[in-house]
Amino acid sequence: MTGRRRLVKVPASSANLGPGFDVLAAALDIHLKLEVTESGEFEVDAGDGGLPSNRQNLCVRAFERLHPADGLRFEIRSEIPVARGLGSSAAAIVAGLLAADHMYELGLDPPDVYGHAVELEGHPDNVAAALFGGFAI
């Protein structure tokens, strides 16, 4: 079976910079990589980082906000430590949304992706840096 495949790379982020609590964030040079492949079966390979390997995985949950994940294989490799304040959840959510948008050519504008990600994540500062890169205000 030759199916669609998408690879997305999203940076970590550091937020709450200086006096800009919940307003300022910067993308960092460590990344989460998500590869989604049509395989005919649902599967999540989250590596050995202790991340969920089912539909509770944030990459999958974000993907499914835009399109069902049935028949897809998700391979997640992340350099971003979990629960260390480096935006690992924002990166996972942005990766899932971008993968679905690109795989199914949904044509979402960046503000639309941002809106979905903020609703799922709750931290607009980390989401902005993960989605747009650089320094976000």
Kindly list the distances between the CA atom of residue 109 and the CA atoms of 13, 76, 95, 137, in Å, as whole numbers in the listed order: 21, 24, 15, 19
- Domain ranges, ordered by start, for the chain: 5-136
Distance CA 79, CA 67 (A): 26
Topology classification of domain 5-136: Ribosomal Protein S5; domain 2 (3.30.230)
Kindly report, residue by residue over 9-38, the tens digit of the pLDDT. Answer: 999 998 866 565 667 888 999 999 999 999
pTM of the prediction?
Answer: 0.92
Kindly report, residue by residue over 42-91, the tens digit of the pLDDT. Answer: 999 998 877 888 999 999 999 999 999 999 999 999 999 887 778 899 99
Radius of gyration of the CA atoms of the chain, in A? 14
Residue 116 identity (one-letter amino acid): H
